[in-house]
Amino acid sequence: MTEPVDERPAERSPEAEKAAPSRRKLLGWGGAGLALGAVAAGGTATAMRSGDTAPADADAAAGAAVPFHGAHQAGIATAVQDRLHFAAFDVTTDDREALISLLKEWTKAAAAMTAGDAVGDGAVGGLAEAPPDDTGEALGLPPSRLTLTFGVGPTLFAKDGKDRFGIKDRRPDALIDLPQFPGDNLDKARSGGDLCVQACADDPQVAVHAIRNLARIGFGKVAIRWSQLGFGKTSSTTPGAQTPRNMFGFKDGTENVAGDDPKSLEAHVWVPTSEAKGDAAWLAGGSYLVARRIRMHIETWDRTSLKEQEDVFGRDKAEGAPAGRTHERDAAHLPSMLPTAHVRLAHPDSNGGIRILRRGYSFTDGTDGLGRLDAGLFFLAYQRDVRHGFVPLQRKLARHDALNEYIQHVGSAVFAVPPGVRDTADWWGRALFTSA
Ligand code: HEM
């Protein structure tokens, strides 16, 4: 297997930095480096288009670039990276053309950063009198499988009844305002947003750099409304890889829509052309994202017996096997679980076949002032229609889940996620803002 090689020596003189402002170049590959990165990640020729499949042994290829262009946006079905920086933005301009030009600029910057290159003319080597185009903290770092996934929230279409950008009629029916669920304790300051960008990478500095540079490009047109850092992915789209564990110590992501299962992706994740009709046709091949900041009361959990912990989920802690079974991947036998067990309630057999693609991360944001960790799960789930995905699942979980004693939903947002950026002439949101 060929690994991408950084052409630059570990230590570089300031002169050398000036001569090569680009963040990183793949040795002798140029544009083809992206495709080779996908192959190095265990993908096939068809896997080179972003979002199409999750390379089976992607973890082995940490550092490679994930292709930005393709039928679907990367960061959904592609292999889950280790770190997250998620940002929700408010659009602060009312000027439609200014917003469109920002989205074009963002797309260009996103394509560069995901390839491991710097934004614009780079962080160094430009005019000494002007601030550099790139903030610089990712200089010398590999692409780290950075993916940037873009979405639009309900308030972009109309806010306080006002059609700010002439797209009110293009709001898809499925982009509903999420209902209030029992037990919700939502903080408005950590909810909603006109736009979102999910940055995932194997290096937190690369993810943070990406959001920071997008926010900087958007100065005067958008402002970050809230953001969330995440670590320790709590789901997997690559069933061959070891399942990660969540903050309660349980394997999380065992039963998930796999990135290399196109049939399930079509059935449960991508918006089909038949559903994206009329004014919502711009979303065909896209998806819907629900983001929930879920606080986990880990101090209470840590005083709970192992037996009760396992009963709460309906799976054992060591192996992750479903109750009454031996191995993690054994089929669940739902009657062996308590009626309130999380897995029993969330299982497709209990919900008319509903499946969602979970892509969440753990978070720990210091302490809450009462000596408890402000920790939990930043839940991210992609689906083709939230009305037949997250909403019915969460209605049931909010009422009956034994887990509710140990968790609380404190932030919430929903976004329509457009299909992939097809080529260098395409841009985030093009189909939404143009009639073609
Ligand atoms: C802090 C909150 C949560 C924790 C700690 C948690 C944890 C887990 C764990 C450990 C599993 C079993 C392993 C697996 O198959 O992934 C699981 C399964 C699952 N969870 Fe959650 N979860 C949480 C919230 C949610 C929410 C809000 C939803 C959806 C509304 C959800 C939907 C699911 C689904 C669909 C499954 C797979 C069930 C199956 O097919 O067997 N979870 N979760």
Q: Is the CB of 390 under 6 A from ligand 1?
A: yes
Contacts of 346 (CB under 8 A, 6+ apart): 393, 396, 397
- Coil vs helix vs strand at 244: coil
Ligand 1 atom with minimal separation from the 406 CA:
1
| 38/176: higher pLDDT | 176
pLDDT at 39 (0 to 100): 32
Ligand 1 atom with minimal separation from the 397 CA:
30
Q: What is the pLDDT of residues 351-367, one digit of tens each?
A: 999 999 999 999 999 99
Closest-CA residue to 321 (of 343, 300, 301): 343
User: How far, in Å, is the centroid of ligand 1 from the Cα of 192?
Assistant: 23
Q: What is the pLDDT of residues 212-231, one digit of tens each?
A: 999 999 999 999 999 999 99
User: How far, in Å, is the centroid of ligand 1 from the Cα of 403?
Assistant: 10
Distances (CA, A) of 62 to 37, 38, 42, 81, 229: 10, 11, 11, 8, 19
User: How far, in Å, is the centroid of ligand 1 from the Cα of 180?
Assistant: 20
Q: What is the pLDDT of residues 400-421, one digit of tens each?
A: 999 999 999 999 999 999 999 9
Distances (CA, A) of 321 to 120, 330, 406: 49, 7, 21
Instruction: Tally helices (H) and strands (E) across the chain.
Output: 11, 9
Six token digits for residue 196: 């979102």
- Coil vs helix vs strand at 201: strand
Q: What is the pLDDT of residues 109-141, one digit of tens each?
A: 999 999 999 999 999 988 999 999 999 999 999
Contacts of 328 (CB under 8 A, 6+ apart): 243, 251, 254, 319, 320, 321
